[in-house]
Amino acid sequence: MKEELFRIEGMHCAACSAAVEKAVRREAGVSDCSVNLITEKMRVSFDEGVTSSARIAARVRRAGFTAILMTEAREKAAPPKAPSLWQVHGRLILSLALSLLLLYLSMGHMLLRAPLPAFLAPATSPLVYAYTQMVLALLVMGLGFSRYKSGITAALRLAPNMDTLVALGSLASFIYSFVLTLLLPKDPSLVMGLYYESAAIVVALVSLGKALEERGKKKTAGAIRALAALLPDTARVVREDGLLEELPLSALQVGDTLLVRTGERIPADARVLSGEGGVDESMLTGESLPVHKAEGDAAVAGAVLVSGSLTLSVERLGEDTTLSSIIRFVEDAQEKKPPIARAADKIAGVFVPAVLLIALLAGVLWLILGKGVGFALRIFTSVLVIACPCAMGLATPTAVAVGTGLGAKHGILIRSGEALETACRVDTAVFDKTGTLTQGRPAVHRFLLREDAEAQREALLARAAAAEETSTHPLSLAIKALAAQDGAPAHPLPQRVTSFGGKGLLAEWEEGSSLLLGNERLLSEQGVSLPDSLAEAARAEAEEGAALVYLAEKGAALGVFAIRDPLKPDAKEAVARLQGAGISVHLLSGDSRPAAACAAKELGITDFCAEVLPEEKTFYIKGLQNQNKCVIMVGDGVNDAPSLASADVGCALGGGTDIAMQSADIVLLNESLFGVCEALTLSKLTVRNIRQNLFWAFFYNALCIPVAAGALYPLGFLLSPMVGAAAMCFSSLFVLSNALSLGRRRLSSR
Amino acid sequence: MHIFKVEGMHCEMCVKRIEAAFEAEKMHAFINLKEKTVAVESETDAPTVMELLEDLGFEPTMIQ
């Protein structure tokens, strides 16, 4: 006894489902059959020795419906769990809270006379006061352990980074304070010279900065997932016995015969066995004009069958499909990108050795001046303590955050903080053509007519529009749009329309008149004569990349529609602006050479490439990068995903595909190409702001270094925690307010 | 003229299925949805018509 699940197509009402059940029950060997109209499913239990799934399906077919055997898809493996957001943010919030507590204890009491219970106050119980601070500091330093790990490894490599400076400063503060704490029983007044809060706040703020930077990092998984989503979940397989079976893609094999219907996506790279239809291959070429496929033609996994139906033989599956290679390209491109050198780390790389030198010199100097080892050590550590700016870690992320917000106000979505920093170094721009520089919608450029047919221009246009009424092909839409635009009167619809594959159509009206619309091949096949004058004019248009739709009546061609994909109105100006800013502009297109050449000429672009496949676009960009150029890629289609990922900055247009938007670093939401220039300006302003922030971060601390070194000792001043706190306060304030000032800038005058 | 009462005929879709099936067999039938009847020429083989209607999932009874 076997039980099978089928999907039934064509059911409509309860009578239909009842009919299916009755029809199937007539098959000998069937013991039970239940049909669910709503889920379109039928469950059948039958004796395998007497009948089979194929015969049951045949019964359903005889009843006037279609049965498709369903194999239950395997449970998809659950995606790996990402580290909980709480774990990351929880530690940060805890360390900030503890630091604030510590700050209250130390500064709050000392400066502002904030109340403290007697058992905690420095005046009454200095030891408790000190040890409490120590514990709090230790906790915060422990939470920020990764900073120490990173800083010390960098130091060992002799390439000190920002974390090295943090480790140096906070450890110096802690050790110095700890020594003082141990000496407290002998001299309780030392309690005023503790720097525990310094150690904690430096670590906490730098951790905060790093967390903000993590949030600004580009999420790349989305692009891969979106590309994988181009494949359908199941495929309709035609078995040898003629039974249709719906299988998950994982169960397909090379050589299987597939049936794909209008509106569905092609499940694998395959060759057409029979049938015909139009396939949207924009994922490969960027062109959404459907390509006509018939017996013998190849179709690509992930492409959409926009019209007709195809029976195909599977040639390449899964990993071997063109789509998978596009996905691999995107993954590779994302992995190979080296992280950009951060300004803060570069400065620290110089600052750390400089500070160590100054501390050493200062200590030695005071030794020579006879102040004793204790004093020298105090000077040494003081310099280290004050030298670590706590606002350093916030300089970059605050500027990036405000810059991102500023961009958002101008319709520029920044998906990657790093790209915002890189964009100002761009010296080359590569544009995709279709949909990016052009509108992506074909429009009639010229409607040429034979001289003697000129008088009937409006009438012919009206008839052509009526003939194309039911077609949704982009070329038909262009003709209909022209008719609407020119105000051509509505013409009665043809009684019969015969389609000739991708070549054109013949419309016939009741009163006997007819109109043939199609390409040159259709004309020769139908024996239509083409006058030389028309042919020449058409050829001129074709050389500029136009698609030609001829109009013929009674065996003679009367006219031709030259249809092009027009450039966006702001394209020329945007390209000119970029070139004016010293950026060389290139054009890459999957479209034909004449079309690309024509567009390039109109835009004033000299470097261009046509008929480019998605992977080839990345080679072009890598070639430029090998010449040490910093490249921004602007595109909108699925076929741009690999190049958007491999360019230094990937820029997608808001009206484009989801995949392009997920692969890009910057998305121009209002689709204006001027946004590219604005994005570059935004980057310049942001990077300038970062540099200013770093200046302010280091300024106050650097100012205090001489004080820490004992320069004011003759006047009685040495470094005190108060001074340290003041430096922390001023530097943080200035960094934050300077970052916020970026938000008030304007990006351009439109 | 053979007339069959066909139980289970419900909507236009059912009529279309019957029409399609008959056309495939190159037989001509007169279908009345309201009366739920299917009528065929006398020359047509009655058992064949019954079989066809049963295959379609209906319950036919010959009235005439």
Say if residue A76's pLDDT is above 50: no
Q: Look up the CATH number of domain B2-62.
A: 3.30.70.100
Q: Does B14 touch chain A (CB under 8 A)?
A: yes
Say if residue A571's pLDDT is above 70: yes
* Interchain CB distance below 8 Å, B57 and A14: no
Mutation test of the interface with chain B: which of A35, A62, A66, choosing the one with the most B Cβ atoms within 10 A? A62
Residue A267 phi, psi dihedral angles, 5° rounding: -80, -25
Provide the sign of the torsion angle of the four alpha carbons A246, A249, A250, A254, taken in this order: positive
Mutual angle of helices A162-183 and A196-215, in 10-degree steps: 160
> Which position has the token pair 């809270």?
A97
Contact at 8 Å (CB) between A289 and A304? no
Which residues of A are less than 8 Å from B21 in CB distance?
62, 64
ipTM exceeding cut-off 0.90 for this assembly: no
One-letter amino acid for residue A393 of the chain = G
Q: Does B8 touch chain A (CB under 8 A)?
A: yes
CA nearest to A95, candidates A135, A129, A139: A139
Closest chain B residue by Cα to residue A14: B10
* Interchain CB distance below 8 Å, B8 and A15: yes
Say if residue B1's pLDDT is above 80: no
Nearest 10 degrees: CA dihedral of B8, B10, B16, B17? Answer: -30
* Interchain CB distance below 8 Å, B57 and A20: yes
* Interchain CB distance below 8 Å, A63 and B55: yes
Which residues of A are less than 8 Å from B54 in CB distance?
22-23, 26
Residues A398-433 pLDDT 10s? 999 999 999 998 999 998 888 888 999 999 999 999
Residues A698-744 pLDDT 10s? 998 888 888 888 888 887 778 888 888 888 888 999 999 999 999 88
Say if residue A493's pLDDT is above 50: yes
Q: Does A25 touch chain B (CB under 8 A)?
A: no
The closest CB to that of B11, out of A12, A20, A26, belongs to: A12
Residue of A345, A432, A591, A665 marked active site: A432
- Would you call A432 a catalytic residue per the annotation? yes
Vertex A324 angle, CA A319 and A330, to 5°: 135
The closest CB to that of B8, out of A18, A26, A62, belongs to: A18
Say if residue A355's pLDDT is above 80: yes
- Once rounded to an integer, what is the mean pLDDT over residues A29-35? 90
Mutation test of the interface with chain A: which of B23, B48, B58, B59, choosing the one with the most A Cβ atoms within 10 A? B58
Q: Cα(A398)–Cα(A412) distance, rounded to whole angstroms?
A: 18
CA nearest to A361, candidates A726, A690, A706: A706
* Interchain CB distance below 8 Å, A18 and B56: no
- Residue A749's pLDDT band (cuts 50, 70, 90): low
CA nearest to A297, candidates A282, A313, A283: A313
- Once rounded to an integer, what is the mean pLDDT over residues A293-308? 91
* Interchain CB distance below 8 Å, B55 and A23: yes
Q: Cα(B10)–Cα(B33) distance, rounded to whole angstroms?
A: 7
- Residue A679's pLDDT band (cuts 50, 70, 90): very high
Q: Cα(A170)–Cα(A178) distance, rounded to whole angstroms?
A: 12
Say if residue A80's pLDDT is above 50: no
pTM over 0.90: no
